[in-house]
């Protein structure tokens, strides 16, 4: 999906990162973020939304560094997911009628 043939037979590579690499980075960061707050990271593990308030408060008091590490890795995973989505959308072929419709709409609105 990254390369497209042209009229003269040459292949033009679409600019952007390799999708497999970005997807792999996302999965690694997402799973690394889950590790410190699940049962693999030690007890107590991340409480569910139906847990009593005291259990949730005690978890965040006892494991605040694990929660911060989880948030850090998940923020990085969100960035990788955004790059992946932007790359995929930029490679989608647009119909000729809608290719510059937003530009025309912006120009005509002023």
pLDDT classification of 40: cutoffs 50, 70, 90: confident
With a CB cutoff of 8 Å and minimum separation 6, the contacts of 49 are: none
Residues 49-90: pLDDT tens digits? 899 999 999 989 988 999 999 999 999 999 999 999 998 888
| pLDDT for the residue numbered 31 | 94
Q: Greater confidence, 16 or 62?
A: 62
Please determine, for residue 104, whether its predicted confidence score (pLDDT) is greater than 80: no
Report the pLDDT averaged over residues 21-36: 94
pTM of the model: 0.70
Residue with tokens 């948030």: 71
Find the mean pLDDT for residues 21-39.
92
Quick one: average pLDDT of 105-110?
55
Q: Is the pLDDT confidence value at 24 over 90?
A: yes
Average pLDDT across the chain, whole number: 81
Q: Give the list of residues 6+ apart from residue 72 with CB closer than 8 angstroms, or none.
A: 33
Residue 27: other Cβ atoms inside 10 A: 13
């Amino acid at each position: 999906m990254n390369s497209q043939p042209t009229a003269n037979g040459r292949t033009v590579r679409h600019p952007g990162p390799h999708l497999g690499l970005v997807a792999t980075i996302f999965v690694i960061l997402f799973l690394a973020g889950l590790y410190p707050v699940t049962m693999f990271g030690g007890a107590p593990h991340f409480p569910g939304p139906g847990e009593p308030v005291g259990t949730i408060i005690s978890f965040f008091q006892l494991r605040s560094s694990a929660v911060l590490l989880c948030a850090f890795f998940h923020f990085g995973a969100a960035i990788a997911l955004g790059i992946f989505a932007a790359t995929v959308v930029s490679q989608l072929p647009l119909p000729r009628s809608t290719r510059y419709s937003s530009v025309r709409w912006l120009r005509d609105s002023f």
